[in-house]
A = this chain, B = another copy of it.
Amino acid sequence: MRDLDSDTRDTEAVDLGALAGSLGFLLRLSQLVSFRDFYDDLGGFGIRPGEISALFVIADNPGIRQGVVARHLMIKRAHMAKMVRAMESDGLVSRSVPADDRRAVELKLTDSGRARVATLSEPFRRHEARPVPGLTRRDEAELKRLLRKYLSLPEPEGRP
């Protein structure tokens, strides 16, 4: 889980050419690095990035429709259906059909789901609070700001 099979030791110098200037390439590698860090810190809880995202969003938005979760997390609806089913059979979320649109499904955490989020919140907070290797705090804040801008996400409270 923590072995990326890529000894990080610098072997031969490699010319990445045009790749070094490619946003997509840099994002792909960065995501792999950050997922490795995620598993290093939180792998012991048996949680995966997709799951924790969905759990946290449902926790913060009780009664949210599963399609809305999927849209905001950029998860395919077909995949979301499976994930929700798994979380339901794990007893973490409950599904209910709203009266005003009987096609939809609204999601809430069960007591068990809330307990799970409570268990994960502090380790997740600590994970996120850790300094990012190689980046200053300013770098880190700026990187997150630019990624949010790229994603058209609003800046959290505070600085305008």
Residue positions of A touching B, CB distance < 8 A: 4-7, 11-12, 14-35, 37-38, 49, 53, 56-57, 59-61, 64-65, 68-78, 121, 124-125, 128, 132, 134-135, 139-140, 142-144, 146-154, 156
Contacts and interface: CB of A to CB of B under 8 A. Distances in A.
Nearest to A79: B5
A28 B48 CA distance: 13
Give the oligomeric copy count.
2
B14 A64 contact: yes
A77 B139 CA distance: 32
Nearest to A142: B146
Nearest to A155: B20
A44 to B, nearest CB: 16
Contact of A150 (B22, B134, B156): B134
29 contacts: A5-B70, A5-B76, A6-B70, A11-B71, A12-B65, A15-B57, A15-B60, A15-B61, A17-B57, A17-B59, A18-B124, A18-B128, A19-B53, A23-B34, A23-B140, A23-B143, A24-B35, A24-B49, A26-B148, A27-B34, A27-B147, A28-B49, A29-B74, A30-B150, A33-B151, A134-B152, A135-B146, A135-B149, A139-B149
